[in-house]
Amino acid sequence: MSGSTIRTPTAEFMRRFMRQRVALVALAVIMLIVLAALFAPLVAPFEPAAPDYDSILEGPSAVHWLGTDAYGRDVLSRIIWGGRVSLTVGFLSVALGAVFGVMIGLVSGFFGGWLDALLMRLMDVLLAFPGIILAIGVVALLGPGIDNVIYAIAVFSVPVFARLVRGSTLELKQTLYLQAARSIGVKAPMLMFRHILPGAMPGVIVYASLRLGTSILTAASLSFIGLGARPPSAEWGAMLADGRSYLGVADHLTLFPGLAIFALVLAFNLLGDGLRDALDQKLR
């Protein structure tokens, strides 16, 4: 048609996503926190673990914008450095959970039969446990520490990714283009990774963005109860745990780390909603 413009899928997605103003603000908040964490040595005004016994439990001031803790350490610097830990746990745990979940979902949905039944029953067992309880159990078995927190959160991320991709696989298996590809002898690996996986990716991307917030919150919860980051590591959940002893005396020790967790988790949730609206053409 004369004067018509043919948009690529990427261009069409960007056009719809740019209309999601709340999601754009959330993305800006996430990018700000990510950049602050990446450039923490340049951005943080003080060393996160350096004590200053002349400035113990000071409130916000011109020198220490968010105050100091029981050892005189700058709270703002520790929050900036703690963002590295929280973001690392969030991204790595979701990436691990997505990789294994996508593989299980693809294999289960594509081959079906007894393999599908076996894998889905295993996923049902994992889903039967509340996420935080399952994470606590995994960390209790492996031992406390950030590395084990990543594995624990990845474990309870796998079942939902698996079920999400399995559902998409079962739907896409019935499409004409896939049946045509199978009829001309295209092998199973090519069918799964070339024809089915791209169609399942929008749902995976949306869920992964939402899961990042949940993973960061879970990591903070595990650190809060002593199963995550170990002192003197700067981590938001551990900072909350340290600050609870000084409620009523130095409320800033719990207020600012709590706000950091709240802002980042909310931003990821809002971004996930925006991605869903932009990727899901059924909502248009």
pLDDT given for residue 1 in this prediction: 43
Q: What percent of the chain has pLDDT over 70?
A: 96
Which of 35, 196, 182 has its CA nearest to residue 103?
196
Pairwise CA distance, residues 146 & 220, whole Å? 11
Q: How many CB atoms lie within 10 A of CB 179?
A: 10
Helix axes 75-111, 236-243, angle to 10 degrees: 130
pLDDT grade, residue 281 (50/70/90)?
low
Residues 190-218: tens digit of each pLDDT: 888 888 888 888 889 989 998 999 999 99
H or E element at residue 16 = helix 9-17
Residue 253's alpha-carbon distances to 72, 101, 278, in angstroms, are: 11, 38, 39
pLDDT given for residue 28 in this prediction: 96
Residues 59-86: tens digit of each pLDDT: 999 999 999 998 999 999 999 999 999 9
Backbone φ, ψ for residue 68 (5° rounding):
-130, 165
Residues 232-247: tens digit of each pLDDT: 778 899 999 999 889 8
Position of tokens 């950030």? 146
pLDDT given for residue 88 in this prediction: 93
Average pLDDT of the residues of the chain: 88
Count CA within 13 A, CB hemisphere, residue 65.
Answer: 9
Pairwise CA distance, residues 126 & 135, whole Å? 11
pLDDT grade, residue 259 (50/70/90)?
very high
Q: How many CB atoms lie within 10 A of CB 24?
A: 15
pLDDT (mean) for 134-161: 89
Strands (E), 93-196: none
CB 211 within 8 A of CB 125: no
Pairwise CA distance, residues 81 & 78, whole Å? 5
5: helix, strand or coil = coil
CB contact set of 213 (below 8 Å; sequence gap of 6+): 90, 264, 265, 266, 267, 268, 269, 272
Helix axes 113-127, 146-172, angle to 10 degrees: 140
Nearest-5° angle of CA 44, CA 48, CA 50?
A: 120
The strand pairing partners of 74, in sequence order, are 68
Q: Which fold has domain 72-283?
A: MetI-like fold (1.10.3720)
DSSP conformation class of 244: G
Instruction: For the chain, give every domain's residue range.
Output: 72-283
Pairwise CA distance, residues 100 & 197, whole Å? 13
Pairwise CA distance, residues 258 & 85, whole Å? 15
Give the pTM: 0.89
Which two tokens mark 194?
A: 């070339």
